[in-house]
Structures are given as structure tokens and as C-alpha cells.
Amino acid sequence: MNISLRFYLTFIFLFFALHAEQAQNLTTPQEVSTQNTIAISENTQTFDFNANAPIFKAFSGLQETLPHITLGTFPTPILKADKFGIFLRDAFGFDVKNLYIKQDNLSGMKNANDDSQLFGGNKVRKLEFILADALLCGAETIVTVGDAGSNHALATAIYSKLVGLDCIIMLAPQLNTSYLQRNLLMDLYYSPTIKAYFSEAQRAVDEIKVSREFIIAEKQSPYYIPMGGSNEVGAVGFVNAAFELKEQIDQKIVPEPDYIYVTLGSAGTAAGLILGCKAAGLKSKIVAVRISGTPEIKASVLKKLIKSTNKYLNMFDKNFPIFEITEDDYSINHDFTGTKYAETTKEGALAIRLLRAFEKIQLDGTYTGKTFAALLFDLIKKPELQNKNILFWNTYCSGNFSDITKDMDYKKLPELLQGYFRVPVQDLDQGC
């Protein structure tokens, strides 16, 4: 990448030269606040179907027809990144006054008795609509797929158990990371059926086999959730998130963003936000930062998912319009992907370290670190952004969750997954 060396050396030099006194913060992720985990007791949870989600206030017909269940803690807070803004001013002379962070890392369900919180991140929003649909369909078992460190697979296992559904997660290989090891140990704790594969092709064959086994056993067919929870049902979670943001704007918690930076992975989050901002009447332009796939394929997937989600909502409420989404509504940044999925890049690693040092927010190397790196480079490359309102949507659930992972034995995982604990993570890995 042509920008890589300049970006890396510039930030490293200025950061250490101007802020050497904060060097310890760069290497001590343990100082970052972590979340304790609620222990799930079966049959103790009650849920409110079709609760008053922000989208229902705008389109009341959806509340009567669209399945939804409250699982997370919303609205998630918005942080004004003043300390990071001061760094940019001191280091570059940039007067970035309006940089905000939407903290979906704090989306997990809270315990009513204390501050403990279930695993959060962007997947909870999707699962509020997906699991409601599964329950309405009479499902008894959820089947979903992901890579070995999948945040989606973990979140699905947790919240499926919470609503009384069995869960099967089917995991394919990826590069080793700290959050991968954490997530696998948490998978053990929440006890879905864990299946591991040598390749995505092998997993695809077994998906058919699993469905056939349910049919032969005369069991209720499993409810299938695609990679990342990224279909039109899951994407509605982020259409709803845009209406949540609109409420926070109306409450003057945050000015209306000119730009919203968000990760483009399996595409459900970005698709939902793009459609949701349009439906909520926001003028914010979404900058979707691609972290996997090819530019052509990912752009096509995103475009199709926006359209299918729009049609899905219109099907439930004809008052929800069919929108024309144009290049004025979003753009895709293809410059920070790296060479392969889950690779921690130099730019991403540095972005993680900077945000952790100044705002005590931990990102990951696969998704959000690359997205924040793209934002930082745009601030350097495009001075006109300095006077804009910019929102970074943090989709990663940080924390080591050591209160449960410390008691988990990786040797109880499928043999293919045990190897991740016997080899080091990537050199640039920044912890979880």
C-alpha cells in the first residue's frame, strides 16, 4: 500500500515525540476497562416482543408486524473524543473539534443488580430482529457460521441460550488473534455445539448434512443465520440504529454527523446504516471501510443488501418507502484491507494504540482498527474534514472477560481449534 509507510512513520514519530509520557498506556491493555459477564440462568428471562424500538416510533405499522425482541442495552452512548482531538491539534495542527465515537461495545444486556454486562458489539442489534423471527417461526435450534474467532458466532450462542434456543456454530480457519482465543474460550462457557472445519468448502458441505440430520430425526428444522447475521432481517438492526442516532441528535447529545465511518465486513451493519440514515432523514454520508473480499464483490453485496432490506421493511409496512440510494449517500474505502482476512496491519495496529492511549477505547485488528485507521488518514489527507462532524461507529466488544475465560480449558474445544492456543498470535496483535 503506497500510503502505508508514510502513515505509519508519521504517527509513530509524532506520537512518541510529543506524548512519550503516555507510552505505558500503549502497552498495557489491562488498564482498559473490561466488562464482567452475566451468568445466564435458563428460564429466568422474560422478553418484550415488539418493544418500542426507535424505528417503530417513525413507522408504527412495523411495530404491529415486524418481529423484534429487546436483548441489548440501548441507546449506546456517544463519546466526544476531545483527548484525541487535542493530540491531533498538537501533533499536526489539525483543529478537529467534532470527532465522536458511537460505543456499540457497550450494547450487551446489563444485569439489573449491578454493572455486569453480556458480550456486546454490533451483533446484538441484528440478533434482536433475527432471534425474534426465529422464535416466531417456532425454531428450536439456531445454526450459524463464522471464522474461528467469530464475534457473530459467539454473540449468537450467548443470546440464543438466553431466549431458550439451542445453537450450533460452524467455524472455519482464520489468522490467529487475541480476540479469537478469547472468543473460543467464551464459546466453551456458553456451550453451543461447536463444529470446526479445514476450509469453508468443507463447512458448506456439512451445512447440508446438518439439515439432513434434523429431517431424518424428524426434528424441527434449524433456523439458519448467515455469516455475520447479514441478511435483510439482521440489517434491520442497523436501520433501527440510525433512528436511535436520530433521537440522540434531536436530544442534542451529538450534532448531526457529516460523515459516519463504519466497518464493511459481511455488509449488514453498513447496509442497515445507509438505508436507516436515508429513512430517518439524516444527511450523514456513510464511509464504509472494506476489511475483506474484493472491491467488486463487496460493493455488489452491499448494494444488493441495501435493496433487499428496503423491500423487506416495505413488505411489513407499505408506509416505509422504497428509497433511491446514490453515491451521495455512501462511499467505500478499499485502502485498508490488508492482504487477507483478520490480518492486523501496521496502520490498524497504530490506530488501535492511539485510540487506546487517549480515549481508553480498545479496538480490534480485523475490523475496527482498520476502520479507525481509514478515518485518521482521511483527516490527514483531507483538511476539509477538520471542520466537519465525524462519527466513528465502534462495532467491537472489547475486554478479556477473564472472569469466565480463566476457568475454560481450550483442550475441550474441537481438535482443529486447539491449535490456536499452541502458536503465537500475529506480531502486530494489539490484544482484546
| Residue 172 CB coordination number (10 Å) | 21
Report which DSSP code applies to 255. P
Average pLDDT of every residue of the chain: 90
Write down the domain spans for the chain: 4-117+231-394, 123-229+403-421
* Position 6 pLDDT exceeds 80: no
Q: What is the mean pLDDT of residues 293-297?
A: 97
Q: What is the CATH number of domain 123-229+403-421?
A: 3.40.50.1100
Closest CA relative to residue 350, chosen from 57, 20, 7: 7
Strand residue runs (E) in 21-80: 78-80
SS (H, E, C) 87-101: HHHHHHCCCCCCEEE
pTM reported for the whole predicted model: 0.92
pLDDT at residue 112 in the model: 75
Q: What is the mean pLDDT of residues 228-244?
A: 98
Strand pairing class (78-80; 99-103): antiparallel
Question: Among 87-101, 172-186, 214-228, 245-259, whose mean pLDDT is lowest?
Answer: 87-101
Q: What percent of the chain has pLDDT over 70?
A: 89
Res. 12 pLDDT band, cuts 50 70 90: very low
Place of cell 482464520: 174
Helix (H, G, I), strand (E, B) or coil at 47: coil
Same fold, 4-117+231-394 and 123-229+403-421: yes
Structure confidence by residue, pLDDT tens digits, 26-41: 333 323 333 444 455 4
Q: What is the mean pLDDT of residues 78-99?
A: 91
* Position 1 pLDDT exceeds 80: no
The DSSP result for 275-318, as a single string, is: HHHHHTT--PEEEEEE-SS-HHHHHHHHHHHHHHHHHHHHHH-T
Structure confidence by residue, pLDDT tens digits, 397-415: 999 999 999 999 999 999 9
pLDDT at residue 33 in the model: 32
Fold for 4-117+231-394, please state it: Rossmann fold (3.40.50)
pLDDT at residue 30 in the model: 28
pLDDT at residue 11 in the model: 52
Question: Among 31-40, 174-183, 307-316, whose mean pLDDT is lowest?
Answer: 31-40
Structure confidence by residue, pLDDT tens digits, 42-63: 433 556 676 789 999 999 999 9
Torsion angle in degrees (nearest 10) through CA of 121, 322, 132, 269: -10
Res. 135 pLDDT band, cuts 50 70 90: very high
* Position 21 pLDDT exceeds 60: no
pLDDT at residue 284 in the model: 98
